[in-house]
Structure 1
Amino acid sequence: MKKIILIGKTGSGKTTLCQKLHGKVVEYQKTQAINLFEHAIDTPGEYIENRFYYKALIVTAADADVIGLVQDCTEEDSFFPPSFAAVFPKPIIGIVTKIDLANNKRQVKAAEEHLQIAGAEKLFHTSVSTGKGIEELRKYLELD
């Protein structure tokens, strides 16, 4: 089983995704500090939104096997700088969240591009509401 650290802006769906991956009741919960799950590390969105906290992400990522960059496809902007993933000597995946809320395919494609520019090597498309992509991500993380 692989442990993943989820990095993404506030409201991108990191905590909800952690809850879903671990079979917990999905409920909104603002992450105030780093939360540890059995197979995931949930980080506050402020850690990617403020460069001052990049060091905390880098240090915390040492406990993970996989780096998960999370991008909400309903958001136009991304907080991931180009090649952001290069600071992590681990596999980097991109997770496009909230695909059920996308108004069109262009929004999903834009999210993919943000993640690829940041350095994501493999992409997953997920919807916690419909369950789409969750099983594929669980298999990649060897949680099944």
Structure 2
Amino acid sequence: MKKLMLIGAVGSGKTTFVQAMMKASLKYKKTQAMEYYDTIIDTPGEYLESRRYNNALIVASCDCHMVLLFQDASSKNCLFSPNFASVFMKPVIGIVTKIDEEIKDIDYAKDCLTLAGAKKIFEISATKGLGLEELEDFLE
């Protein structure tokens, strides 16, 4: 599998995605600093939410093959600026998370990721396992 860097707001599902991909038990864990796994770099949501950390994201992306932007389908808060993906010299894809939530707007989440510059978008629920197989096949 390619080495991935995950970027998204606090609570967007990045760490839950990591746990699901590693077949680990799903439990809430707040990411406080960049966490490096064999094939994944999990970044804190604050690195997206505070622009002063954007350089850290750009530098860390040098250690990966692909950047994944995470947007929570149950949130109307899009923190990605238009064409955000253009700063990375890597392929950037979008991940719409929490598609199993009762209140959600998948189209809004997809629009947010498209505007940010994601070239391909996947819809997943890490807690229910929805969409993970298709995403894994793409990443292989």
Give the TM-score band, short-chain normalised: over 0.9
> Is the counterpart of residue 109 in structure 1 residue 107 in structure 2?
yes
Q: Does structure 2 conserve the Cα–Cα contact (< 8 Å) formed by 1:82 and 1:118? A: yes
Paired residues in the alignment total 140
Q: Does structure 2 conserve the Cα–Cα contact (< 8 Å) formed by 1:73 and 1:111? A: yes
- AA paired with 1:11? G
| 1:6-85 → structure 2 map (5 Å cutoff) | 6-85=6-85
| Match of residue 136 from structure 1 | 134
SS of corresponding position for 1:15: helix
CA positional deviation for 1:36? 1.1
Which whole-Å CA distance do the structure 1 matches of 2:34 and 2:137 have between them? 24
Which whole-Å CA distance do the structure 2 matches of 1:75 and 1:102 have between them? 12
Which string of whole-angstrom CA distances, capped at 9 and with x for unpartnered residues, describes residues 89-126 of structure 1?
A: 1111000000000435xx00000000000000000000
- AA paired with 1:131? G
Which whole-Å CA distance do the structure 2 matches of 1:117 and 1:79 have between them? 11
Q: Does structure 2 conserve the Cα–Cα contact (< 8 Å) formed by 1:6 and 1:43? A: yes
Q: Does structure 1 conserve the Cα–Cα contact (< 8 Å) formed by 2:26 and 2:127? A: no
TM-score by length of 2: 0.97
SS of corresponding position for 2:67: strand
Identical positions, percent: 48
TM-score by length of 1: 0.94
Evaluate the alpha carbon distance shift between residue 82 and residue 102 of structure 1 in structure 2; reply closer, same or farther with a 3 A threshold.
farther
Which whole-Å CA distance do the structure 1 matches of 2:62 and 2:135 have between them? 21
> Is the counterpart of residue 5 in structure 1 residue 30 in structure 2?
no
Evaluate the alpha carbon distance shift between residue 55 and residue 22 of structure 1 in structure 2; reply closer, same or farther with a 3 A threshold.
same
4+ runs of 1 displaced by more than 6 Å? Answer: none
CA positional deviation for 1:141? 1.5
Which string of whole-angstrom CA distances, capped at 9 and with x for unpartnered residues, describes residues 42-78 of structure 1?
A: 0000000000000000000111101100000101011
RMSD of aligned Cα (Å): 0.9
Which whole-Å CA distance do the structure 2 matches of 1:110 and 1:134 have between them? 21
